[in-house]
Structure 1
Amino acid sequence: MRTNLNWLWTGLLPVMLLAGCGSKEEEEEKEKKDEESVSTLGAVSALKEMASQAEEMGKKGPVETVDFRKLKELLPSDADGLARKEATGEKNGTAGFTVSTATGKYGNDDNSENIELAIIDGGGSAMMIGLAAWSMLEIDKETENGYEKTTKMGDNKAYEKYDNASKDGEIAVLVNKRFIVSAKGHGISMDKIKAALEDIDLDKLADVK
């Protein structure tokens, strides 16, 4: 009887292992399909939101952007201890839509650490859809080299991306549904990039007209 039982177990074991493998493979395939479905639904939802926002902004018509000189005034004289090397501004437009931009470049003596701060006013127009598409998405990605995600900075939607190897990173914030404030850094920590962006008074920016 013991011999017969041993044969029985010997015969059943491969079957059980195969069944277990099949079940695991099926589960993995199901999880993959579920993830794809969630990703597809997220993309569709984002596209619908973009279309809705574009339609709403289109109804308002062209909005005059603020003078870029007012935006330049909000650029700090230093970015978390890095001296300002340059400050520029410009206003461009087409078909009645304009964008005002102020940019400040900051760095140490040998420029091995540098940050660029930018303030953009899209006038709350449909053009903002392209400039800040991330504001309508939910992103959360992490790799061995860094991460990318959407988050919040106060009450404002924000986007972050950082590479640990190169120490390159950026953060952007949407203020009052019309201003985009961004900080891009090279050879520097994300904490310092964030601190540099915080040197810009976002509350004051929201009230600029």
Structure 2
Amino acid sequence: MNSIHLITAAVLTIGLAGCGGQKSEQEKARQTTAEAMQVSANAMEQQAKQMAQAMQEQNAVAGTAVELADFREMKKLLPEKASGLPRTEHQGSKNEAFGVRVSNAEARYENDDGSSIHIQITDMGGMAGTAMLAQMAWANMKIDNESDSGYERTVTVAGNKGFERFDSDSQHGELQIMVANRFMVAIDSQNVAMKAVLKMAEELPLSKLAGLAK
């Protein structure tokens, strides 16, 4: 009987030890899951704070008297010709959507052989810092990428930060220029050499554009 009791006790001890080990593994799994959930929650909280900050900045700007430049004055800065191409369209407007106010002027230049340039000037004075940076992520970066089909890089145009992109397959080019931390000059070209586009951009009255900021 004593032997039976000893065997039974040993079996129970092993069984309990096994249950204890299993419980320990379950606790570890629960702890790992809890830690992962906490990390996820922290990330979501940080993202929420960033969104709240962006909204606060936007509301702050919306609540201040930021007078947008008159698009009619911006229209006057658009040349009659761009890289030798005649102007075929010329317009401007002021709009507001979702609390963001913008004023813009634009012109299109083209000829019969398929070459064209489109210039748009946008006053983003109604956009807050975070929202504005989202529109031009390249503003605080240095970029220089090149491939068989084209390139993209940050540039300086008449002392202003810019971003240049060209697709050699489609012969489509893009040039964006930030003026006075407020105006965005966006130039799209088709079948026009980027050297010619850059030269034309250098000749735009960007200093006069900066003077329209109030």
Shorter-chain TM-score tier: 0.5 to 0.7
For structure 2, the residue ranges without an aligned partner over 5 or more in a row are: 1-46
CA positional deviation for 1:81: 1.1
- Counterpart of 2:101 in 1: which secondary structure? strand
After TM superposition, give the deviation of residue 137 of structure 1 in Å.
2.7
Cα distance change of structure 1 residues 57 and 157 upon mapping to structure 2, 3 Å threshold: farther
CA distance 1:57–1:197, shift in 2 (3 Å):
farther
Q: Helix, strand or coil: the match of 1:208?
A: coil
Shift of 1:72: 0.5
Change (3 A) 1:179 1:57: farther
Residue of structure 2 equivalent to 1:20: none
2:148 equivalent to 1:144: yes
Q: 2-side partners of 1:165 and 1:95: how far apart? A: 38
Change (3 A) 1:61 1:202: same
Note if 1:157 corresponds to 2:175. no
- For residues 156 and 207 of structure 2, the distance between their equivalents in structure 1, rounded to whole angstroms, comes to 15
CA contact (8 A) 1:105 1:117 kept: yes
Q: Normalization by structure 1: what TM-score?
A: 0.68
| Shift of residue 86, structure 1, vs aligned partner | 0.5
Q: Answer yes or no: is the 8 Å Cα contact 1:68–1:101 preserved in 2.
A: yes
Letter in 2 for 1:201: P
- SS of match in other structure, 1:98: strand
- Distance in 2 separating the partners of 1:179 and 1:194: 18
- Where in structure 1 are there 5+ consecutive unaligned residues? 1-46
Give the match's secondary structure for 2:203: coil
Normalised by the length of structure 2, the TM-score is 0.66
* Counterpart residue number, 1:70: 73
Q: Deviations for 1:28-62, whole angstroms, at most 9, x for unmatched residues?
A: xxxxxxxxxxxxxxxxxxx9xx98x9589548523
- Following superposition, the deviation at residue 129 of structure 1 comes to 2.5
Secondary structure class of the residue paired with 1:61 = helix
3-state SS of paired residue (2:148): coil
Larger CA deviation: 169-178 vs 148-157: 148-157
Rg larger in structure: 2
| Two-structure CA RMSD over aligned residues (Å) | 2.5
- Taking the TM superposition and a 5 Å limit, the aligned residue runs for 1:8-157 are 58=58, 61-62=61-62, 63-108=66-111, 110-123=112-125, 125-126=127-128, 127-157=131-161
**CA separation of 1:56 and 1:141: change in aligned 2, threshold 3 A:** farther
| Residues in 1 aligned to 2:207 and 2:187: alpha-carbon distance in whole angstroms | 17
Determine the C-alpha separation between the residues in 2 that align with 1:59 and 1:166.
41
CA positional deviation for 1:149: 1.1
Per mean C-alpha deviation after superposition, the further-off stretch among 199-208 and 134-143 is 134-143
Q: What is the distance in 2 between the residues matched to 1:56 and 1:173?
A: 27
Give the direction of change, closer, same or farther, for the CA distance of 1:56–1:157 in structure 2 (3 Å limit).
farther
Structure-1 residue corresponding to 2:10? none
